[in-house]
A and B are shown apart, each in its own frame.
Chain A
Amino acid sequence: MSESLTCDVVVVGAGMTGAACALYAARAGLGVTVVDRGPVAGGTTGAGEGNLLVSDKAPGPELDLALLSHRLWAEVAQELGGAVEYEPKGGLVVAETPGALDALRRFAAGQRANGVTAAPVPADRLRDLEPRLRDGLAGGVHYPQDAQVMPALAAAHLLRASGARLLTGREVTGVLRGTDGAVRGVRTDRGDLHAPAVVNAAGPWGGELAARAGVSLPVLPRRGFVLVTEPLPPRIRHKVYAADYVTDVASDSAALRTSPVVEGTAAGPVLIGASRERVGFDRSVSLPAVRALAAGAIRMFPFLSGVRAVRTYAGFRPYLPDHLPAIGPDPRAPGLLHACGHEGAGIGLATGTGRLIARVLTGQAPELDLTPFRPDRFPPTSGEAER
Chain B
Amino acid sequence: MRTDLAVIGAGPAGLAASLAASARGVRVALLDAEPEPGGQYYRRPAAGLRARRPRAPHGRWRTWTRLRDGLAASSVRRLADHHVWCVERRPDGLTVHALLGPEQEQPAEVHARAVLLATGGHEVVLPFPGWTLPGVVTAGGAQAMLKGGLVVPGRTAVVAGTGPLLLPVAAGLAAAGVSVAALVESADPRRLVRYAGPLVGKLPEGAGYAAGLLRHRVPFLARHTVVRAHGDERLTGVTVAALDAHGRLRPGTERHLPCDALAVGHGMLPHTDLAEGLGCRLDGPAVAVDGEQRTDVPGVWAAGEATGIGGAALALAEGHIAGRSAAARLRGTAPDPGAWAPAARARARLRASASALDAVYAPPGRWTDRVTDDTVVCRCEEVDAGAVRAAVAGLGAGDPRTVKLLTRAGMGWCQGRMCGPAVAALAGCAPTPSRRPFARPVPLGVLARPHADTAGPHPTDHPAGTGPSTDHPAGTGRPADRPTERGPS
User: Which A residues are closer than 8 A to B by beta carbons?
Assistant: 14, 38-42, 46, 152-153, 156-157, 159-160, 166, 168-169, 220, 222, 227-231, 252, 254-256, 267, 269, 272, 277-280, 282-291, 294-295, 297-298, 304-313, 321, 384-385
Contact = CB atoms under 8 A, between A and B. Distances in A.
A220 B443 contact: no
Interface stretch (B6-14, B125-133, B205-213, B400-408): B400-408
B448 A291 contact: yes
Given A153-B406, A252-B489, A311-B438, A40 B395 contact: yes
Nearest to A278: B487
- What are the 7 tightest A-B residue pairs by CB atom distance, in nearest-first order? A278-B487, A305-B445, A152-B405, A40-B396, A294-B447, A308-B441, A295-B448
Interface string B458-489: 00000000000000000000011011111111
B88 interface: yes
Contacts of A14: 396
B441 A256 contact: no
A153 B411 CA distance: 14
B136 interface: no
Given A277-B485, A294-B444, A305-B448, A311 B437 contact: yes
Given A152-B405, A305-B444, A310-B438, A254 B399 contact: no
Interface string B27-59: 000000000000000000000000000000000
Nearest to B487: A278
18 contacts: A14-B396, A39-B401, A40-B402, A46-B401, A156-B395, A160-B395, A229-B444, A255-B484, A272-B444, A279-B480, A284-B277, A291-B449, A298-B444, A306-B105, A310-B438, A310-B441, A311-B411, A384-B488
Contacts of A288: 483
B252 interface: no
Nearest to B279: A284
A313 B437 CA distance: 8
Contacts of A384: 488
Contacts of B442: 308-309
Contacts, number: 148
Given A39-B396, A254-B489, A286-B480, 16 more contacts: A38-B399, A160-B396, A222-B487, A230-B413, A230-B441, A278-B485, A278-B487, A279-B482, A279-B484, A282-B480, A294-B444, A294-B445, A304-B444, A307-B443, A309-B444, A321-B489
B406 A152 contact: yes
B251 interface: no
B345 interface: no
Nearest to A291: B447
A39 B398 contact: yes
Given A231-B412, A278-B485, A309 B441 contact: yes
Q: Main SS of the interface on chain B? A: loop
Interface in B362-402: 381, 391, 394-399, 401-402
Contacts of B437: 285, 311-313
A286 B447 CA distance: 12
A307 B413 CA distance: 13
B444 A308 contact: yes
A272 B448 CA distance: 13
Contacts of B479: 279-280, 282
A255 B449 CA distance: 21
A277 B484 CA distance: 7
Contacts of B435: 283, 313
B88 A254 contact: no
B402 A42 contact: yes
Interface in B263-317: 277, 279
B156 interface: no
Interface centre among B86, B479, B480, B488 (most CB of A within 10 A): B488
A133 to B, nearest CB: 16
Contact of A305 (B381, B413, B443): B443
Contacts of A153: 405-406
B190 interface: no
A38 B357 CA distance: 34
A14 B438 CA distance: 29
Given A159-B396, A168-B398, A308 B443 contact: yes
Contacts of B449: 291
A306 B408 CA distance: 24
A228 B406 CA distance: 16
B234 interface: no
Contacts of B438: 309-312
Given A220-B487, A279-B479, A279-B485, A294 B402 contact: no
Given A220-B487, A254-B486, A39 B444 contact: no
B3 to A, nearest CB: 20
A288 B451 CA distance: 10
A297 B488 contact: no
Nearest to A385: B488
A290 B482 CA distance: 14
Contacts of B482: 279
Contacts of B443: 305-309
A42 B448 contact: no
A242 B413 CA distance: 29
A10 to B, nearest CB: 16
